[in-house]
DNA sequence: CGATTCTTTGACACCTATCAATCTTAGTGG
DNA sequence: CCACTAAGATTGATAGGTGTCAAAGAATCG
């Protein structure tokens, strides 16, 4: 189903925002807008591992997993975020590790085949520039997360995740998604938090409980977080 | 000290290889060639955390560390590799985490300030394209490593590292650096291997010993690796 | 409301970290 | 060239943090 970019809710924030109308029209031609339900995997008829996408609404996770089912979430994409590796010779598989893109909430995305998107971007310097800026940001984020995964304790990891989520919401101006940076709805299940943090569900649950006991956060409901002591939480994320 | 790019040993493989001579000259003007000794940190007079560089010879590591000294190596750069984040508003510091660039061997690098390099690249589409390609590759590599750090056992990690090193040497055509992909000199100390893998020195040492006992590898000397059973090592990297 | 899924909690085991000692390698100066 | 010294690597004993397994308690959804 093709829809004009005029109706796009992230027209001014997504990667497309650097394009003038004429070029946007061309990009629109090679893209497909798609609804995905919560939990549904993103695919494009036979191009499962070779696609790119803009997230319009909702939240989408990108994860890698081993053959025997261990999963690591490597990226969480919010509205206006771009996912995929348009410029790489890669097949999407590395050894036995497999990429998966799955919606954390009902979501709307704009999908391109890697090939088509790359071909288009090839000729568009501004798009390349913007893609480069975003890829760099993602690389920094990934590397910072490597420090967390390699060197931080369970308590530090859980605290860090809450801070990261709160910060990203703030950067996105997510008052629309509800409330302040000090009080928000978790879009992740405990299992998904564990898959981001390289922990088990049980450990995440216990550490969250500990943070509650320490008076740093509260859970009005199981999916709602309230940060009671921001400096304290930040301290818990760094050391101790 | 400025030196013409004509004498550059990675002229045809580094990021500069996409530039015609005229533009290369311009890039040359904003860069400085530098020798760094093994163990020496890379810096550019007051711009410590805001630089970019091409590696000409030798090997350089990029690492993040927490305030209390825990370190995670996030990237190892070989000759012709580019390091740095030219396109980002970032300061190089995230919370309390600090970036460090340090030579693993005596090395020669070509340094630019982030600002100057970004300004130059801004106007050069081909350079941007190449930078995008490389950044994407690095992002993929970082994310694959996240799976390792978050979900793999010590044995799997150590085996994975040996394979990764061997593969990268092969891709670089490192017969020059000595011998085949099945027999090479480790440029990393045990501690550095640990810092890449999110483990301790002792655990790395024990796992290496185990791989030797299992007949998968051998150590002619403490820094020389010989892979005896490639499929077996690959299997050890994935599961079991 | 009933059934399924998700979350929490507990007991226990195991992997890896920590601490400490020994051994090896590399670097230095006589 | 060798002895000396410091740094790096290995090995052992122990401890502690997470994982695993199991069960009970919420929450969600038809």
Q: Which of A50, A66, A132, A159 to mutate to test the interface with B (most CBs of B within 10 A)?
A: A132
| Separation of alpha carbons A37 and A199, rounded Å | 26
| Separation of alpha carbons B228 and B216, rounded Å | 5
Strands ordered across the beta sheet of A93-94: A71-77, A60-65, A97-103, A93-94
Per the structure block, which two tokens stand in for B194?
């640990």
pLDDT on residue A231:
96
Contact A238 B66 (CB under 8 A): yes
pLDDT on residue A174:
58
Buried b (16+ CB within 10 A) or exposed e, B200-238: eeebbbebbebbeeeebbeeeeeeebebeeeebbbebbb
Q: Which of B96, B136, B193, B233 to mutate to test the interface with A (most CBs of A within 10 A)?
A: B136
Element (H, E) at B61: strand B60-65
The answer to whether B28 CB is within 7 Å of strand C is no
Per the structure block, which two tokens stand in for B189?
């100390």
pLDDT on residue B180:
72
pLDDT on residue B5:
84
Q: Smallest CA–C1' separation from A200: which nucleotide?
A: D19
Contact A136 B86 (CB under 8 A): yes
Strand partners, B34: B109
- Whole-angstrom CA distances from A217 to A187, A198, A229 are 17, 21, 7
pLDDT on residue A50:
75
Chain A hits for B71, CB-CB cut-off 8 Å, are 151
pLDDT on residue A15:
94
Is the predicted pLDDT of residue B179 greater than 70, yes or no? no
Contact A95 B143 (CB under 8 A): no
Rounded to whole angstroms, the distance from the CA of residue B47 to the C1' of nucleotide C24 is 40
Over residues B193-201, the mean pLDDT reads: 98
* Percent of chain B at pLDDT exceeding 90: 68
- Cβ–Cβ under 8 Å, residues A150 and B72: yes
* B93/A contact by beta carbon, under 8 A: no
Over residues B129-145, the mean pLDDT reads: 95
- Cβ–Cβ under 8 Å, residues B80 and B14: yes
Query: How do residues A8-45 score in pLDDT, each as one tens digit?
Result: 899 999 999 999 988 898 898 999 998 999 999 886 55
Is the predicted pLDDT of residue B170 greater than 90, yes or no? no
Chain B hits for A135, CB-CB cut-off 8 Å, are 132, 135-136, 139
* pTM for the predicted model, two decimal places: 0.93
Residue B64's pLDDT band, with cuts at 50, 70 and 90, is very high
Per the structure block, which two tokens stand in for A190?
């405990």
Average pLDDT, chain B: 89
Rounded to whole angstroms, the distance from the CA of residue B220 to the C1' of nucleotide C26 is 17
pLDDT on residue A94:
52
Contact A140 B71 (CB under 8 A): no
The answer to whether B221 CB is within 7 Å of strand C is yes
pLDDT tens for chain A, 240 residues: list them.
Answer: 455 788 889 999 999 999 998 889 889 899 999 899 999 988 655 455 578 999 999 999 999 999 999 999 999 999 999 999 888 765 545 556 788 899 999 999 999 988 899 999 888 888 999 999 999 999 999 999 999 999 999 999 999 999 999 999 888 775 555 557 799 999 999 999 999 999 999 999 999 999 999 999 999 999 999 999 999 999 999 865
Query: How do residues B75-126 score in pLDDT, each as one tens digit?
Result: 999 999 999 988 876 554 555 678 889 999 999 999 998 889 999 988 888 8
Q: How far is CA B198 from the centre of its chain?
A: 16
User: How far is the alpha carbon of A52 from chain B, nearest alpha carbon, in Å?
Assistant: 13
Over residues B179-206, the mean pLDDT reads: 94
Q: Of B135, A4, B131, nearest to A16 (Cα)?
A: A4
B28-37, B53-62, B174-183: lowest mean pLDDT where? B174-183
pLDDT on residue B178:
52
């Amino acid at each position: 189903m093709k829809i004009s970019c005029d109706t796009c809710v992230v027209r001014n924030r997504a990667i497309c925002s650097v394009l003038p109308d004429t070029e946007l029209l061309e990009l629109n031609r090679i893209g497909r807008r798609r609804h995905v339900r919560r939990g549904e995997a993103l695919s494009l008829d036979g191009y499962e591992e070779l696609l790119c996408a803009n997230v319009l609404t909702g939240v989408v996770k990108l994860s890698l997993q081993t053959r025997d089912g261990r999963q690591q979430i490597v990226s969480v994409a919010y509205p206006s975020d771009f996912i995929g590796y348009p410029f790489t010779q890669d097949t999407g598989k590395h050894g036995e590790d497999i990429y998966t893109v799955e919606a954390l909430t009902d979501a709307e995305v704009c999908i391109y085949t890697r090939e088509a998107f790359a071909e288009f971007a090839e000729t568009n310097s501004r798009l390349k520039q913007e893609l480069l800026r975003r890829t760099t940001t993602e690389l920094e984020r990934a590397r910072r997360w490597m420090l967390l995964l390699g060197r931080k304790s369970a308590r530090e990891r859980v605290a860090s995740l809450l801070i990261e989520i709160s910060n990203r919401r703030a950067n996105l101006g997510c008052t629309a998604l509800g409330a302040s940076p000090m009080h928000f709805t978790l879009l992740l299940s405990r299992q998904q938090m564990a898959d981001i943090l390289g922990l088990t569900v049980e450990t995440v649950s216990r550490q969250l409980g500990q943070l509650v006991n320490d008076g740093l956060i509260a859970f009005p409901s199981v999916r709602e977080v309230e940060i009671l002591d921001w400096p304290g939480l930040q301290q818990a994320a760094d050391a101790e």
